[in-house]
Amino acid sequence: MPSAPTDAPAWLSEDQQRSWSSVVALLMTLPATLDAQLRTDAGLNLFEYHVLVALGDAPDRTLGMSDLAALSRGSLSRLSHAVGRLERSGLVERSACSHGRRRMEARLTDAGWDKLVAAAPGHVAEVRRLVVDALDDGQLEALGVAADAVVRAIDPALACGERVRSCGPPPAAGAEGSAEQGR
């Protein structure tokens, strides 16, 4: 029979618990609210939108599925289901990797690009309303730094590295791959 742990957990102080409760409330309400806006206005969920953004930023609007999963912050399984839905809608095409490997890649179609361009303004307005305009510049910067520290604790490869540009303008025509725009 396993023995009971000898060290008591480091319980949160009252102030820490209050802050943690705020973080939990943010994590539970913000993604659902952004998801609802995108579903209503664009017929996309938040994850599908991030997939389109990652493809829209990529050279030739094409990425290997593994790279796309990392950039959109989803598992390969979740990505495969999302890309399947986007494919059925004509927004994305899947094919064997053009580099001759036994990998699959996804490419944003012209219809997918048009969908992204049409969806972006409403999404940006909602992000601005819910987050950017609710905070002053210092609070927004502190939130970004704090969020990055938490992401780094979860997976250092995801922190401050490849970010999905979800709230800036889509790259100008002919500027595919300028992932730094709008970040």
The mean pLDDT value for 65-83 works out to: 90
Structural domains for the chain? 25-154 (1.10.10.10)
* pLDDT score, position 163: 46
**Of the listed ranges 94-98, 115-119, 121-125, the one predicted with least confidence:** 94-98
Q: Which position has the higher pLDDT, 110 or 67?
A: 110
* pLDDT score, position 166: 42
* pLDDT score, position 159: 66
Token representation of residue 148: 């990055």
pLDDT digits (tens, 9 = 90+) for 157-169: 776 554 444 444 4
Rounded Cα–Cα distance for residues 53 and 150 (Å): 23
- Statement: residue 45 has pLDDT above 60: yes
The CA distances from residue 155 to 128, 141, 144, in Å, are 27, 21, 16
- Mean predicted lDDT score pLDDT of the chain: 85
